[in-house]
Every structure is written in structure tokens, then in C-alpha cells.
Amino acid sequence: DAKTTQPNSMESNEEEPVHLPCNHSTISGTDYIHWYRQLPSQGPEYVIHGLTSNVNNRMASLAIAEDRKSSTLILHRATLRDAAVYYCILKETSGSRLTFGEGTQLTVNP
């Protein structure tokens, strides 16, 4: 499985934008980039995914580098409820298993 590298932790202030980086230099041409997050005492929750183009949904935006070797999850206005571990995952085209790394622990300060 292609690997991803994320910072262990990041901090943000409430109502400010948050940019969560992910490096995936060994990504293959057909790997999708998925982001999940896990709030305390809950199972992981799907956030967003993309292949080549930038993507937006109601939760976040995903900016993908032109060479696809890195991506950034953008939370436009962080809330206290966004405090969670964020996982960047490369999803293979064969099968639907998710290979989680350590993720980034996001702390949101009031």
C-alpha cells in the first residue's frame, strides 16, 4: 500500500481556517485520496475524497497538488466540534479496504 505522511498534531483557533497537510509521494495514478476523521469515542467519519481535481463539499475542501504527491484538507472555519484525529488515506482501485496511518490530532482552541 502506498503510504501517507501527516503531522502528528496541529492546533487552530475557533472560526479560523485550518489547513491539514498530507504527503503521499508514492501515490499511483489510480489511487484516490480519502480523508476520514475520528471524533473522541466515535468511529471514523468520511470527510471528502478526490482523484486529481480540487473538491468541495459541505464539510471541507480538498486541494490536490498538480503532481498528486501531496494534498491539503481545508476546514474553512474551525469549530470546537472539529477537534478530532484526521486521517489521509490512499484508496486502491482494487477493493475497498482503508489503510489508516497515525493521522493528525487537531486541537481547536476557543
Partner 1 sequence: DAGVTQSPTHLIKTRGQQVTLRCSPISGHKSVSWYQQVLGQGPQFIFQYYEKEERGRGNFPDRFSARQFPNYSSELNVNALLLGDSALYLCASSLWAASTDTQYFGPGTRLTVL
35 near partner 1, judged by CB under 8 A: no
- Beta-carbon contacts of 60 under 8 Å, excluding residues fewer than 6 positions away, are 35, 47, 48, 73, 74, 75, 76
Q: Report the residue from 12, 18, 82, 91 that binds partner 1 according to the rule CB under 8 A.
A: 91
Total number of residues that touch partner 1 (CB under 8 A)? 23
CA 94 to mean position of chain CA atoms: 21
Q: Report the residue from 14, 23, 98, 107 that binds partner 1 according to the rule CB under 8 A.
A: 98
DSSP 33: E
97 near partner 1, judged by CB under 8 A: yes
Q: Tell me how far, at minimum, the Cβ of 22 lies from partner 1, in Å.
A: 13
86 near partner 1, judged by CB under 8 A: no
92 near partner 1, judged by CB under 8 A: yes
Cα–Cα nearest to 87, from 35, 19, 21? 35
Is 36 in contact with 60 (CB distance < 8 Å)?
no
100 near partner 1, judged by CB under 8 A: yes
